[in-house]
Amino acid sequence: MAARDRYSRKLECSQCGNTGFAEVSEDDTPSRKTRGFEIDALPGGFETEFASSNPRKHMIRCRCGHKFKFEQTTAYAPGGEPRA
């Protein structure tokens, strides 16, 4: 049976600086086309704008109105944080 991978990922709004950790899970099955990405819990101040099974398409909306993708395609320096 397929196992579910669970992990948390830090969200940071580049507009107002709101941060928190989202609890997410994915299918741990390499043969599947989709990762079965799901957000199980969002930190305070963030909500789902557009749900997708692809974390690069899943849109989060901050309480300040700023919208951003759950998983950014931009590569940050190790240990670095995104800055506007």
Residue of 15, 19, 34, 72 interacting with Zn ion (CB under 5 A) = 15
Burial class of residue 37 in the structure, from the number of CB atoms within 10 Å of its CB (0-12 exposed, 13-18 middle, 19+ buried): buried
Residue of 3, 4, 7, 16 interacting with Zn ion (CB under 5 A) = 16
Q: Does 11 bind Zn ion (CB under 5 A)?
A: no
Q: Does 14 bind Zn ion (CB under 5 A)?
A: no
The three-state DSSP-derived secondary structure of 16-43 is: CCCEEEEEEEEECCCCCCCCCCEEEECC
Return the residues of window 18-37 that contact Zn ion according to CB under 5 A.
18
Inter-residue contact 22 to 46 (CB < 8 Å): yes
For Zn ion, the closer CB: 3 or 64:
64
Between CA 62 and CA 49 the distance in angstroms is 9
For Zn ion, the closer CB: 3 or 16:
16
* Interacting residue ranges for Zn ion, rule: CB under 5 A: 13, 15-16, 18, 62, 64, 66
